Chain A
């Protein structure tokens, strides 16, 4: 054939081999590089803890014997949406701060990579939830996150109210105690005032009498102590002797 006879195949094989080796080595390098990068990204610690609600939902969905009824699956999907809402709020609020920190060089690149992965994951997750919701009921996907956000808000609100209202009993008890104490103090004050005004004259005599009595008593005590002292000492001495 005409054109092929003129070609010197041996000489042509050299540039072809050159091109082949060049492209081949570039491809190998890039694929290894990308694989390593992906591996490193995957080995980074995930931003969020495992998504428990998602696992529950998917476990229920894949349960065969017996099949889980739709109503439970819907509830599980809602729970999953509630968790997603809290995650997306976290991601949104953290993004700004993290960007600033990254620009200033206060945080490493690793953290940013982890964050970006989490962001992508949560986006996929939201899309997945919407499509699942639409599979259960037409147009549910449009309202499921509204519903989920109200669920989260309402749960928080009820927790707060119940927490505060549960202190009512202890507060009541405290106030009862306090009230009776105040009343008692008040009554005592009143009594004291009464006693003072009624028996002002006899106070002096009785005090003098009691003082005398106290003196005699203390004298007796002193005598008793003196009497007991040496006896005790002797006892101790004996014990010691016995030991030796």
Chain B
């Protein structure tokens, strides 16, 4: 980095109508950076805050949270009624909405929402015996929230067991036990996996 008083002038150009910034000539890093910049700029414009600067992370705009909550509720209702495919769709919409939050809103909140929704979608997928999708959803849910997410750990473990990937399932469940201290469901699943393993050997 140069000293505080100098900088490198980059060959940047602005499209007067779309306000997109482009570089000429460009290299890969610069192009990537400008793409991120243009995306952020669009996001800022869409946010429509009074003086054009993003608001502080808290408090959060409640409309989106309410919409996500509503979608989750209707997903839960469909699941209870047994329309599992419909529930998967609704949860998917809610996940898309949670991930579509403006990027300056608290990431912890996004983690919380997305992890819960993905875990629910995993369950809906499992109810339809879509083990592969269920496993992926549960994995993503755990990735978002490792501690206190024993349901997520259990669901992926179960899916892997159902698909016959016993080795993976065992590793996964023992990892889960490290995070979610001796959850009875997980312990039960672990012994199931061991039984299956003993049978196949």
Contact = CB atoms under 8 A, between A and B. Distances in A.
B14 A72 contact: yes
B8 A79 contact: no
- Most chain B CB within a 10 A radius of its CB, from A53, A153, A155: A153
A171 B132 contact: yes
A161 interface: yes
Interface stretch (A13-21, A95-103, A162-170, A204-212): A162-170
Nearest to B102: A154
Contacts of B56: 143, 146-147
Interface of B: 1-4, 7-10, 12, 14, 16, 19, 21, 29-30, 33-34, 36-37, 40-41, 44-45, 51-57, 99, 101, 103-107, 110-111, 114, 130-133, 135-137, 139-140, 143-144, 163-164
Interface of A: 46, 48, 50-56, 58-60, 62-63, 66, 68-72, 74-76, 78-79, 118, 121, 124-125, 128, 133, 136-137, 140, 143-144, 146-147, 150-151, 153-155, 157-158, 160-161, 164-165, 167-168, 171-172, 174-176, 178, 182
Given A75-B41, A125-B4, 13 more contacts: A55-B8, A59-B7, A60-B14, A60-B21, A74-B53, A121-B1, A124-B4, A125-B1, A136-B52, A150-B57, A168-B132, A171-B136, A178-B164
29 contacts: A52-B33, A56-B30, A68-B14, A72-B14, A72-B37, A72-B41, A76-B37, A78-B40, A78-B54, A121-B3, A121-B4, A125-B4, A137-B52, A144-B53, A150-B106, A151-B103, A154-B105, A161-B99, A161-B114, A165-B137, A165-B140, A168-B136, A168-B137, A171-B133, A171-B135, A174-B132, A175-B131, A175-B132, A175-B163
